[in-house]
């Protein structure tokens, strides 16, 4: 398939690209800084683009079969709207170019998965450190849900840089009120790429942890 990846210089995005290429997909990575992409492949095209500046990447959506987003950032303490504004632009670019399938990472703990990232995140990390980031993730999800796209929102537990195991739990009731459940970025990428082969979670949110 022809895939457009957002966040390809990030830790999960890199995994999506690496595993996607090994599965034979043709990938266009839209990244702010192409020099951060340290590998090359005949099926990989790297384009400079910032999700907040649609002009920089909009034409790259032409002819894609799906968009996989691992958009995220580290400036989460301050009030931020990067995820929602960026995602709004991505949705518009998809609609204009007639690309239907969107698979986007948010997180457990957002909207109706509130409390499912464990007690520590619920009582401390989300209210005191990630408050604005999670508010933005909530808006990001609502924009996707209100779109006409064939979307799937993937809500992982806490991310690790562990190896791909390919065995994990996914579904509506995944997550835990007391414990923070983990999942490796490699397995998040594995799950997202597998979603391209099935319609199980079409227009649905799905939790993902070990």
Ligand X SMILES: NC(=O)c1ccc[n+]([C@@H]2O[C@H](COP(=O)([O-])OP(=O)(O)OC[C@H]3O[C@@H](n4cnc5c(N)ncnc54)[C@H](OP(=O)(O)O)[C@@H]3O)[C@@H](O)[C@H]2O)c1
The residue ranges that bind ligand X (CB under 6 A) are 7-13, 32-33, 36, 50-52, 70-73, 82, 86, 105, 107, 156, 158-159, 185
Instruction: Pick between residue 161 and residue 199 the one whose CB is nearest to ligand X.
Output: 161
CB of 29 to ligand X, least distance (A): 9
d(CA 206, CA 105): 10
Instruction: Pick between residue 10 and residue 20 the one whose CB is nearest to ligand X.
Output: 10
Instruction: Pick between residue 9 and residue 28 the one whose CB is nearest to ligand X.
Output: 9
Instruction: Pick between residue 105 and residue 149 the one whose CB is nearest to ligand X.
Output: 105
Instruction: Pick between residue 80 and residue 148 the one whose CB is nearest to ligand X.
Output: 80
CB of 110 to ligand X, least distance (A): 9
The 3 state secondary structure assigned to the chain is CEEEEECCCCHHHHHHHHHHHHCCCEEEEEECCHHHCCCCCCCEEEEECCCCCHHHCHHHHCCCCEEEECCCCCCCCCCCCHHHHHHHHHHHHHHHCCCCEEEEECCCCCHHHCCCECHHHHHHHHHHHCHHHHHHHHHHHHHHHCCCCEEEEEEECEEECCCCCCCCEEECCCCECCCCCEEEHHHHHHHHHHHCCCCCCCCEEEEEEC
CB of 170 to ligand X, least distance (A): 14
CB of 11 to ligand X, least distance (A): 4
CB of 148 to ligand X, least distance (A): 23
Nearest-CB residue for ligand X: 10
């Amino acid at each position: 398939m022809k895939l457009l990846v957002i966040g390809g210089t990030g830790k999960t995005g890199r995994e999506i690209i690496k595993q996607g290429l090994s599965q034979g997909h043709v990938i266009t990575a839209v990244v702010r800084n192409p020099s951060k992409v340290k590998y090359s492949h005949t099926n990989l095209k790297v384009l400079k683009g910032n999700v907040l500046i649609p002009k920089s990447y909009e034409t790259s959506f032409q002819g894609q079969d799906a968009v996989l987003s691992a958009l995220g950032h580290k400036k989460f303490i301050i009030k931020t709207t990067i995820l929602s504004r960026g995602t709004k632009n991505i949705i518009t670019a998809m609609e204009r170019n007639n690309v239907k399938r969107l698979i986007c990472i948010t997180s457990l703990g957002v909207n109706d998965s509130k409390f499912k990232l464990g007690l520590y995140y619920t009582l401390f990390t989300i209210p005191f450190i990630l408050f604005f980031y999670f508010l933005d993730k909530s808006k990001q999800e609502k924009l996707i849900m209100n779109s006409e796209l064939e979307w799937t929102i993937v809500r992982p537990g806490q991310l690790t840089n562990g190896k791909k195991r390919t065995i994990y739990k996914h579904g509506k009731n995944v997550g835990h009120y007391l414990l923070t459940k983990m999942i490796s970025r490699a397995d998040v990428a594995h799950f997202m790429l597998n979603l391209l082969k099935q319609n199980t979670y079409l227009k649905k949110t799905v939790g993902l942890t070990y």
